[in-house]
Structure 1
Amino acid sequence: MIQPHRKTRLLYRHTSSATRCLALAALFVAPPAMAQDAPPATDLPMPAPIVQPVPSAPLPHLSPAQANALALLLRKDIVAQGLADTESGETLDNDSLVRAALDHAHAVHAGRLAEADFDRNWAMRPAAYDPLPAFKDAVEHDRLAAWIASLPPPYAGYDALVTALARYRAIAAAGGWESLTAGADLTLGNTGARVSALRQRLALEDPQVTPSGDRFDAALVEAVRRAQRRYGLNPTGIAAAQTLAALNVPVDARLRQIKANMERWRWLPPELEKNRVQVNIAAAVLTLFDGDVPVMSMKAVTGRPGAETPMLTSQIHSIVLNPPWNVPSTIAARELWPKEKAHPGYFARNGFRVIDTGDGGKRLQQASDHSALGKYKFDFANPFAVYLHDTPAQAGFARFDRLASHGCVRLEKPGDLAKRLLDATPEWPADTIDATVSEGKTVRAKLAAPVAVYLLYWTAFATANGQVSFRNDPYAWDGALATKIAARSARQALAAR
């Protein structure tokens, strides 16, 4: 396990140049929708509930100097951590100030939601956290500043969003940016007021851009490409409608995205495994970490809106080679039985078997040589019965909008991932994997040691200098999270009256 420190790497934060090119230059690719991913439901439990302890009396007593220092620390940190946009000048008595500090600690360290607020698909829960013991120790040893500094998630990716939040607030305070006017695509050689406005807009987020000038030169082409990569668009270097739409998202909306992603960081455990698989659901990219270093990145296809890929953490325990596909009843009823009815023989031509369930019902199974799961299926326990898998629809990875599955995660290079994960399993060297796949027999390869897997939903992620990449909010989870936080805050304020 890694130690919780600010150097900890997460998706996109510290990728190699080759990995970064793959992960950021071609993020949105969607194959045609296929009924291929969701297996039968399982009976596994949801994550453990959140417990927010109620401080027991008596509360620590602060000296006048400590009270003044703590009030100042809280006023500034509440803004820095995105919990409020302005500092409060309210004066509190000792117990009220201590309770405010404990509430702040819980919000920064473990998030602002209660168990009832979590959507079922948000299957990650912050660990139970009681801030009181550490706070008492900080008061006793006069280390309140160090205690405040220890509260946020111990990851460089979170720190980068804190930096980004301050940067985008400064942009907003200066007036934000004006919307770029619609019109013909802007490209190399164009001149005029629209080009000048484009330069000024790009310069607000990209320090490499010269804000003055009305000519679309080669440097501006590269600047547009950088922006397109930041927004997960095809980096053509041409400022067409899709690019202009991304640039026209108001700065206040970008601030809300940053805050939503900061909140989700608070749900992660205090330590992450050094060897792990991470999927950014919103960007549809998988990254493999070995020794806390990203060693492989590939495009993925994640759930389309309405069939969302859940946020969760688990462990990959085995890989099924040449997996058959047990078709979920919902997909069979909605998509496959109508095809057989409209085109008799469809099942036979596509390797489907009709199996009697024994209770008067029927289910479908697709043979491994035809399987929509391809040649590899990566199993990990979860209450949604989702998994990572291969797909025969490889052409879809050439597109930039890759939210098209039924909830599972399709992989661009599943064979490469399988070999890396089985590298420490002596009975499964690469040539044995290849031979088994070629033979076509269904075999379960158990990993010598399980590998952690994280399915995460990042719609904003930043580098250390505050340069932020944004993605669309395809599931509207950013907005739902903000609404839930606001509702929770309103209920707490009402209860405090």
Structure 2
Amino acid sequence: MRRAIRTATGGSLIALASLAAAQETPAPVLAPPVGATMVAQPLPQLSDAQARQLAKLIAQDEVRQGLRQGAPRDLSATGGDALVRVALDHARAVHAGRLDASDFERDWGIRPQRFDPLPGFADAVARDRLAAWIASLPPPYAGYDALVAGLARYREIAADGGWSSVSAAPELKFGRSGPAVAALRKRLSAEDPQVAASGDKFDAGLLDGVRRAQRRYGLNPAGDVGALTLAALNVPVTTRMRQIAANMERWRWLPAQLEQKRVQVNVAAAVLTVFDGDAPVMSMKAVTGRPGNETPMLVSSIHSVVLNPPWNVPSSIADKELWPKERANPGYLKRNGFRVIDNGGSKRLQQSSEKSALGRYKFDFANDFAVYLHDTPAQQGFSRFDRLASHGCVRLEKPEALAKLLMKTTPEWQPAAIDTTVAAGKTVRAKMAEPVAVYLLYWTAFASPTGQVGFREDPYGWDGELASKVEARQAKQTLASL
């Protein structure tokens, strides 16, 4: 996912002249890194040519990076220290996120690293390399670059008028024809250049286009134009643009370099992938938290695998689900392997490892949300396309394979030892010789290098909320710069 090289945006279009630095002593300014204590530092002074160039670069980049919707703003009247402050603020927003610490929800458990743009900016002014400095600011990941390209593509679609809604109709079936088919074809062609925009026949080419769209939206690619497909197609282009911008903001929260070996879970898509560098080495379906029991975003390290884990039932689940079942059907708890543990006045439930809802494998990592990855006896859940059904933890389709992969460098826990312990049924915590980074992320928009964007539903409503917070924070910063 990490790019080896980033090229300067527009570097081949702009001739950078060597300009003498201003001789006067610049006025001090408070220019802190994100979240740091403010310290007075002198601002570099811009030449007139640099000020014109910088104003244009920032205005264009605000739109390019999804921080501003619509046309670029006019910064030509902004100069001197005011323009420098705009540049430093823009740098923090692009590199480490637009949000303030107070904007984060509790479940958004990822925070950007501190970033002070002033040293790099001062060097760019001194060496007259402002375009290269602007180009160096975004997160150094191909996934982010692809969303930048995708956003540009959807801006073009919006500028061309966007797309019209497609209504349900009997003729939206293979082999049929009519106005509704023509409307469907035109709608698909807006995002998919392989679909011819004109024609009213639901032919093989259109069927393929429907299936491609369903794959982009994470739906069953059966080719049937049902309610879910129509709902995805009828999301306005402006909403898709805000969705892309929200996902770009989340990219800015990630560290500047991801670990070589890591486990990543896309909560929205309910998929786990293991990476070695940029290469995925294992992937599997997952079941993540249902709305109301959201799986949080977080970064941690898996340090151990519990084999044959019992389930210590959270009080919220016990109170809402299990105690009522026991009252309605006495003996329910005993039949399902639960035992009541008296904690001196309060009672909690623990399910034995033989019948544990956690299955045979539990992957532990430190976090403030009491969530983890685990096996499950409810394998039927992985056959669904919509797999948001847990209480917040992440259920895994192939936990045994993941355990053996993560334990590969732990001599005492090679596959035979794992199999023997699991078969014996005894609960054992197997500590990993090398902890592996784990990322729980919320990606609802991701793109290919050509800008072809795949979308997922926003089950938690986080996209709209985040986009609104980014827009509000950007508007506030814009007013402050006037």
TM-score under structure 1 length normalisation: 0.88
CA distance in 2 between counterparts of 1:50 and 1:475 reads: 27
In angstroms, what is the RMSD of aligned CA positions?
Answer: 1.7
Q: 1:3 to 1:476 in 2, by over 3 A?
A: closer
* Structure with the greater alpha carbon radius of gyration: 2
**CA deviation after TM superposition for structure 1 residue 110, in Å:** 0.6
TM-superposition CA deviations, 1:196-236 (whole Å, max 9, x none): 21111111111221222222122222211110011111111
Q: SS in structure 2 opposite 1:113?
A: coil
- Paired residue for 2:389? 404
Q: Which runs of 5+ in 2 are unaligned?
A: 7-32
Q: SS in structure 2 opposite 1:288?
A: strand
CA distance in 2 between counterparts of 1:385 and 1:50 reads: 28
Q: Does 1:146 align with 2:132?
A: yes
TM-superposition CA deviations, 1:448-467 (whole Å, max 9, x none): 10100000001111010111
**CA deviation after TM superposition for structure 1 residue 381, in Å:** 0.3
- Paired residue for 2:334? 348
Structure 2 contact 3–142 (Cα < 8 Å) conserved: no
Q: Does 1:88 align with 2:73?
A: yes
CA distance in 2 between counterparts of 1:369 and 1:474 reads: 33
Structure 1 contact 303–409 (Cα < 8 Å) conserved: yes
- Paired residue for 2:63? 79
- Paired residue for 1:19? none
TM-score under structure 2 length normalisation: 0.91
- Paired residue for 1:233? 219
Q: Which amino acid aligns with 1:72?
A: K
Q: 1:50 to 1:374 in 2, by over 3 A?
A: farther
Q: Does 1:418 align with 2:418?
A: no
CA distance in 1 between counterparts of 2:73 and 2:407 reads: 54
Higher RCO (CA-CA < 8 Å; seq separation 6+): 1
Q: Does 1:163 align with 2:149?
A: yes
Structure 1 contact 316–378 (Cα < 8 Å) conserved: yes
**CA deviation after TM superposition for structure 1 residue 3, in Å:** 6.6
Structure 1 contact 282–457 (Cα < 8 Å) conserved: yes
TM-superposition CA deviations, 1:260-310 (whole Å, max 9, x none): 001111000000011100011111111111233101111111111111100
Aligned pair partner of 1:207 in 190, 193, 204: 193
- Paired residue for 1:51? 35
Q: SS in structure 1 opposite 2:42?
A: coil
Q: Which amino acid aligns with 2:248?
A: M
**CA deviation after TM superposition for structure 1 residue 490, in Å:** 4.6
Q: Which runs of 5+ in 1 are unaligned?
A: 8-48
Structure 1 contact 389–409 (Cα < 8 Å) conserved: yes
Structure 1 contact 124–313 (Cα < 8 Å) conserved: yes
Q: SS in structure 1 opposite 2:265?
A: strand
- Paired residue for 1:44? none
Out of 50-59 and 99-108, give the one that drifted further.
50-59
CA distance in 1 between counterparts of 2:479 and 2:93 reads: 18
- Paired residue for 2:175? 189
Q: Which amino acid aligns with 1:406?
A: H
**CA deviation after TM superposition for structure 1 residue 4, in Å:** 5.8
- Paired residue for 1:285? 271
The residue correspondences of 1:383-394 to structure 2 (distance < 5 A) are 383-394=368-379
- Paired residue for 2:54? 70
Structure 2 contact 293–390 (Cα < 8 Å) conserved: yes
Q: Does 1:459 align with 2:444?
A: yes
Q: SS in structure 1 opposite 2:181?
A: helix
CA distance in 2 between counterparts of 1:241 and 1:75 reads: 40
Q: Does 1:365 align with 2:350?
A: yes
Q: Which amino acid aligns with 1:442?
A: T
Q: Which amino acid aligns with 1:156?
A: A
Q: Does 1:256 align with 2:242?
A: yes
CA distance in 2 between counterparts of 1:477 and 1:363 reads: 33
- Paired residue for 1:441? 426
Q: Which amino acid aligns with 1:431?
A: A
Aligned pair partner of 1:224 in 203, 210, 226: 210
CA distance in 2 between counterparts of 1:216 and 1:312 reads: 45
CA distance in 1 between counterparts of 2:221 and 2:280 reads: 23
Identity %: 68
How many residues in Structure 1 have an aligned counterpart in Structure 2?
454
Q: Which amino acid aligns with 1:361?
A: S
- Paired residue for 2:283? 297
